[in-house]
Structure 1
Amino acid sequence: MNNKIKMILADDEVLFRKGISFLLQKEKNIEIIYEVSNGNELLSFLKESTIHPDIIIMDLKMPLLNGVEATRIIQNDFPKIKVIALTSYDSKSFIANMISIGAASYLVKNTTPAEMIFTINEVFHKGFHYNENVLQVIQEGIMPASTKFKSSFEEDYLTNREKEVMQLICKQMSTQEIADKLFLSPRTVEGHRNNLLLKTESKNVAGLVVYAIQNKIIILDNLSI
């Protein structure tokens, strides 16, 4: 039970939400701990409960408090919780806005069950999962002006090893996978990752990836996603 991915589903379309719940409950490593129909219910639960989720599946359009604002608050108040946007909106502006405020992944509602389950596991184990569409939006720099990442960065500030680790993080490899590829211990990889977060002033791994791509420290064409 302790190894299960604890999740909350936030969507005001009850039939859709129940369908997702039914689908995910079949997975042995996933536990749905709560369901809500708006952002206010979600924040009330997080503030009052002693049990927090690892991941929240977040619809963007909800009454009272929408998913965008709820995500923004959660990233500030509960930064360890990962948010996966699941929405009907697939425009670049919506994707850019959600990524800029810290969403760990972005899925549209016509995604397959297999892709959703894969994404949940990737986010849980690696901290984020960005598909090709999301990576393209990040590369194009279509971010809200108020949340744009810093555009100047001295690449020499990073060591060669840190650049190697950053490249593999952007390829969405796990700590163990990076350790195996570079013949390092997982603890050493974690140390490099922490240094990268500090040097780039990124809040989490997802933010680090955005930073690396937007500042052209990592070239998207070289990533085998």
Structure 2
Amino acid sequence: MIRVAIADDQALIRDAFRSLVDAASDLTVVGEAADGVEVLGILDRTEVDVVLMDIRMPRIDGLEATRRVLARHPQTRVLVLTTFDRDDWIYDALAAGASGFLLKDVRASQLTDAIRTVAAGDALLAPQVTRRFIERALAARAEPPADAADVPLTARETEVLQLIAAGLSNQEIAERLVIAHSTVKTYVNRILRGLDLRDRTQSVIYAYEHRLVRPESLN
């Protein structure tokens, strides 16, 4: 059973999400919070697998709450949901450690599938969305991007990381490189461990920041 906490300052939204989550046989809501302070309290008292996190909340907003949640409870996954389609917030949420980002107009099945996806440790954003948001955010940054030469990976690990950033699943990477699915999983684990990254989403950000992949090369 996947344990879910809902953080949103609107009770109506929390009620709607609770109904959708509890309707799934493999999901259950273990707590609700109206702000970042409350969601931190829930996680300090209860084991939570996935937090559905709003961004605009009082006292502590969703971005700061995400940072604090993952600092205290690194095993927890955060799925950010908002009505605001802003590139800078999406990048900041992912950089803070969120495993995915959805707008609140998703269908019920998309929401429950997203919860299962991030609970399993996978990234959520579609590759074309990832490219648009991260490239725009990086272009707006004052500091120059990091150098690809500084990446402490083997040639094969770098190739796997580039394919992850392109949005390929482990199975698709295995087919592209003509290697076993289990071998791809080994490479992914090595990449995350070697770069001290928590999940695939952060590996995508890393690939862009170190100029290992560019949008035009993935079209």
Q: TM-score range by the shorter chain?
A: 0.7 to 0.9
CA drift at 1:173? 4.6
Aligned AA for 1:9? I
2:122–2:201: 8 Å Cα contact kept in structure 1?
yes
- Is 1:33 the counterpart of 2:63 in the alignment? no
Aligned AA for 2:29? I
Q: 3-state DSSP class of the match of 1:34?
A: strand
Q: Counterparts in 2 of 1:179-190, with a 5 A limit?
A: 179=174, 182-184=178-180, 186=182, 188-190=183-185
User: Which residue does the alignment assign to 1:158?
Assistant: 153
Residue of structure 2 aligned with 1:12, choices 9, 27, 45: 9
CA distance in 2, matches of 1:212, 1:115: 27
Q: 3-state DSSP class of the match of 1:28?
A: coil
Q: Return 11-20 or 165-174, whichever deviates more.
A: 165-174
Q: 3-state DSSP class of the match of 1:63?
A: coil
Q: 3-state DSSP class of the match of 1:154?
A: helix
Aligned AA for 1:139? E
- Is 1:73 the counterpart of 2:78 in the alignment? no
Give the TM-score normalised by the residue count of structure 1: 0.81
CA distance in 2, matches of 1:108, 1:143: 23
1:93–1:142: 8 Å Cα contact kept in structure 2?
no
Give the TM-score normalised by the residue count of structure 2: 0.83
Q: 3-state DSSP class of the match of 1:70?
A: helix
User: Which residue does the alignment assign to 1:216?
Assistant: 211
2:80–2:102: 8 Å Cα contact kept in structure 1?
yes
CA drift at 1:184? 2.3
CA distance in 2, matches of 1:16, 1:133: 25
Percent identity (aligned):
26
Residue of structure 1 aligned with 2:50, choices 46, 55, 62: 55
Aligned AA for 1:25? D
The runs of 5 or more residues in structure 1 that have no matched partner are none
The runs of 5 or more residues in structure 2 that have no matched partner are none
How big is each residue's C-alpha offset from its partner over 1:50-78, in whole Å with a ceiling of 9 and x where there is no partner? Answer: xx222110011222222111111012111
1:114 and 1:67, CA in 2 relative to 1: closer, same or farther beyond 3 A? same
- Is 1:89 the counterpart of 2:79 in the alignment? no
CA distance in 1, matches of 2:144, 2:122: 19
CA distance in 2, matches of 1:156, 1:127: 22
2:9–2:35: 8 Å Cα contact kept in structure 1?
yes
Q: 3-state DSSP class of the match of 2:31?
A: strand
CA distance in 1, matches of 2:54, 2:152: 39
2:55–2:81: 8 Å Cα contact kept in structure 1?
yes
How big is each residue's C-alpha offset from its partner over 1:155-186, in whole Å with a ceiling of 9 and x where there is no partner? Answer: 78533321332234334455466456643252
Q: 3-state DSSP class of the match of 2:102?
A: strand
RMSD, aligned α-carbons:
2.9
Residue of structure 2 aligned with 1:137, choices 116, 133, 146: 133
